[in-house]
């Protein structure tokens, strides 16, 4: 259902508000360069600092402007089950093809709590759900056994695995059905994760290089292991540059340097430091992006 490279879209701002035209332009840029799908309102989209109305506006604009050209998986997670349920219902209403739901953060639920959280939303909102496990940000790790329990729910269709732990990903792959989708949540890990049964990536770097990330995934899925490995190594340094500071600070800086958006974030995130900016500029210059 969802295979290949999906971009975790930045949310462009101008004067503190969503820059709707820049968002539409960014959607077009992604699709024209060959991306396989779009993911608004995730970590990279600064969803944690969007109001609910802004959150739904970003999803609605993305869905409407995409106009069915590629799938849209909308972020709708929260550390509150009631809030996640509300957001998931609303992203379905505005036409998202699926939702991306992060593990609840800060309150650190048990594995049973994680199961109850996701299953409650999945059973009440009929939309395909991609689970999102990123323990480095949330403070909780969803174990393979919990993913496997959730995978028995018909509309729980996949997992964004941002653990960078190939052993855990391998056990997850063993425990879930063959048609359950596992997408990398780490840009440098897409090739290794696909090698142990992944189907692609939800990528930060594809904000600036959608064609290359999509090509890497397509080569792998088409059986061109050598070609995919070549692109994996080619992209490593620029992927690292997109994380020299907290995401999405570097990728927004890169897009601003490319003239695609304003370099504007919401507090508590701040624009990139001079040292970080030099690293980003060097990386995108080496890649011929500026």
Helix axes 111-124, 81-93, angle to 10 degrees: 30
Residue 110: what are its φ and ψ, rounded to 5°?
-70, 175
**Is residue 78 assigned to a domain?**
yes
Q: Is 171 a catalytic residue?
A: no
Structure confidence by residue, pLDDT tens digits, 3-57: 999 999 999 999 999 999 999 999 999 999 999 999 999 999 999 999 999 999 9
**Is residue 271 assigned to a domain?**
no
The whole-angstrom distance between residue 169's C-alpha and the CA centroid of its chain comes to 17
What share of the chain has pLDDT > 90, as a percent?
100
**Is residue 13 assigned to a domain?**
yes
pLDDT of residue 5: 98
- What pLDDT band is residue 1 in, cutting at 50, 70 and 90? confident
The answer, as to whether pTM is greater than 0.85, is yes
Q: Residue 78: which residues within 8 A CB-CB, separation 6 or more? A: 84, 87, 102, 104
pLDDT of residue 223: 97
Domain carrying residue 179: 4-222
**Is residue 95 assigned to a domain?**
yes
As a whole number, mean pLDDT of residues 244-271 equals 98
Structure confidence by residue, pLDDT tens digits, 59-88: 999 999 999 999 999 999 999 999 999 999
CB 165 within 8 A of CB 143: no
**Is residue 254 assigned to a domain?**
no
Q: What is the CATH number of the domain that holds 177?
A: 3.20.20.70
**Is residue 232 assigned to a domain?**
no
The token pair at 161 is 């695995």
| 283 closest CA partner among 229, 230, 232, 240 | 240
Q: How many domains does the chain have?
A: 1
Task: Give me the residue label for tokens 């692609």.
Answer: 200
**Is residue 277 assigned to a domain?**
no
| Residues 255, 243: Cα–Cα separation, whole Å | 14
As a whole number, mean pLDDT of residues 162-188 equals 97
Q: What is the mean pLDDT of the chain?
A: 97
Indicate the helix (H) or strand (E) that contains 213. helix 210-221
**Candidates 3, 92, 132, 215; catalytic one:** 132
**Candidates 3, 160, 215, 252; catalytic one:** 160
Q: Is 124 a catalytic residue?
A: no
Angle at 262 between CA 255 and CA 253, to 5 degrees: 40
C-beta atoms surrounding 29 within 10 Å: 17
**Is residue 266 assigned to a domain?**
no
């Amino acid at each position: 259902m969802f295979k290949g490279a999906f971009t975790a879209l930045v949310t462009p701002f101008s004067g503190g508000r969503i820059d709707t035209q820049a968002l539409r332009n960014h959607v077009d840029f992604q699709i024209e360069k060959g991306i396989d799908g779009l993911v608004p309102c995730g970590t990279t989209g600064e969803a944690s600092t969007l109001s609910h109305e802004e959150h739904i506006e970003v999803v609605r604009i993305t869905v409407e402007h995409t106009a069915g050209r590629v799938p849209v998986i909308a972020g709708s997670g929260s550390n509150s089950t009631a809030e996640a349920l509300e957001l998931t219902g609303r992203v379905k209403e505005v036409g998202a093809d699926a939702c991306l739901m992060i593990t609840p953060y800060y309150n650190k639920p048990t594995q049973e709590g994680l199961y109850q959280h996701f299953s409650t939303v999945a059973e009440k909102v009929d939309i395909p759900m991609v689970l999102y496990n990123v323990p480095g940000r949330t403070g909780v790790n969803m174990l393979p056994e919990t993913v496997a329990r959730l995978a028995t729910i018909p509309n729980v269709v996949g997992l964004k695995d941002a653990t960078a732990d190939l052993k855990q990903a391998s056990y997850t792959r063993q425990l879930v059905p063959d048609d359950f989708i596992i997408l990398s949540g780490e840009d440098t890990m897409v090739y290794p994760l696909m090698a142990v049964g992944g189907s692609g990536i939800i990528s930060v770097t594809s904000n600036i290089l959608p064609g290359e990330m999509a090509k890497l995934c397509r080569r792998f899925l088409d059986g061109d292991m050598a070609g995919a490995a070549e692109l994996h190594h080619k992209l490593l340094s620029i992927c690292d540059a997109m994380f020299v500071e907290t995401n999405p600070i570097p990728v927004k800086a890169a897009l601003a340097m490319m003239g695609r958006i304003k370099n504007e974030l919401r507090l508590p995130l701040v624009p990139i430091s001079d040292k970080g900016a030099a690293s980003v500029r060097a990386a995108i210059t080496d890649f011929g992006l500026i």
